[in-house]
Structure 1
Amino acid sequence: MEIKVKKLSITAKLPTRGSAYAAGYDLYADIAEPAEIPPHRTVMISTGLSMEIPEGYFGAIFARSGLAARESLRPANCVGVVDADYRGPFMIAVHNDGETARTVMPQERIAQMVVIPFLPVEFCEAEELSDTARGEGGFGSTGKQ
């Protein structure tokens, strides 16, 4: 699959994979100077890119596990969704879950994107639903004996 990417600045960096089998493509901070993120705050960081995600797919924006574990930085919405018809700049709302300020450096990897297919569905109202063994069992119900 080929995804068209438009660089919105000369310093923007195309997404990259960390290994041959990596599902996620790293997204980079396209900022002119370091950006400090205070504890429990969110800062919008540009990737400097726009993309053309193919119809039938979306770009899922996830945390980079090392950045989240070591620096307490993650996307503020936990998982971002970039729809196939969006053509604007990819901005990452980076949230600091830690107790100390963190700094995002120019060209630092700040998130990862996984391109995922989805099924368009139609919702139809129904008076009844089919029965299952689980039924209406909610949170934690499948772990009970």
Structure 2
Amino acid sequence: MSKARRLRVKAKPEDFERQHDDDAGFDLRAKEEVTLIEGKPKLVKTNVFVEIPKNHVGLVMIRSSLGMKGITLANSVGVIDSGYRGEVGLIMVSLSGNQTVFAGDRVAQMLIVPLQPVNVEYVKQLKGSERGEGGFGSTGKS
């Protein structure tokens, strides 16, 4: 079994916590009340600062309960690089009318994911594959 990496967090424990020990992500809470105007992205602050270990990334996703209400992240998934030390902010948008997010609401979750370093090789031609250059729906499966 691999040894767990240390994740340093500057926040109140209730602002960055797992509800259950085996949860994949850490809940993020809204720092202040924000009214989301339908279709207009708005920055929602979390009062959370993280020091993500090298060769890891923080992936931020909307909570499914908010997704059911038509609230999502404008950038779909937020990426927090290991070198970033600023406050974690969420670019939230309502797709279903004007809605309010209240201070203290759990609004998103962050997963800490290990990265596999790769060496980039620039080439003029890629190797072929069974799928080839087919785009969306090209596998014929729904």
Q: Please, what TM-score do these two structures have when normalized by structure 1?
A: 0.85
1:6 aligns with 2:10: yes
Between the aligned partners of 2:20 and 2:140, the Cα distance in structure 1 is 36
**Which among 65, 76, 79 is matched to residue 77 of structure 2?**
79
Between the aligned partners of 1:104 and 1:135, the Cα distance in structure 2 is 44
C-alpha contact 2:44 2:92 (8 A) present in aligned 1: yes
1:12 to partner: Cα distance: 7.9
Q: What amino acid sits opposite 2:64 in the alignment?
A: S
1:25 matched residue in structure 2: 26
Q: Report how many aligned residue pairs link the two structures.
A: 137
Q: What amino acid sits opposite 1:4 in the alignment?
A: R
C-alpha contact 1:12 1:30 (8 A) present in aligned 2: no
1:51 to partner: Cα distance: 0.6
C-alpha contact 1:12 1:49 (8 A) present in aligned 2: no
Between the aligned partners of 1:93 and 1:58, the Cα distance in structure 2 is 18
Between the aligned partners of 2:60 and 2:102, the Cα distance in structure 1 is 19
CA change 1:21–1:133 in 2 (3 A) is same
C-alpha contact 1:29 1:108 (8 A) present in aligned 2: yes
1:106 aligns with 2:103: yes
Between the aligned partners of 1:101 and 1:128, the Cα distance in structure 2 is 49
1:51 matched residue in structure 2: 50
1:14 to partner: Cα distance: 3.2
SS at match of 1:23: coil
Superposed CA offset, 1:33-69 (max 9, x none): x221111112211111111000010000001011110
- CA root-mean-square deviation: 1.8
Q: What amino acid sits opposite 2:9 in the alignment?
A: V
1:140 to partner: Cα distance: 1.2
Between the aligned partners of 1:43 and 1:136, the Cα distance in structure 2 is 37
1:3 to partner: Cα distance: 1.1
1:142 to partner: Cα distance: 1.1
Between the aligned partners of 2:133 and 2:72, the Cα distance in structure 1 is 34
C-alpha contact 1:49 1:89 (8 A) present in aligned 2: yes
C-alpha contact 1:13 1:48 (8 A) present in aligned 2: no
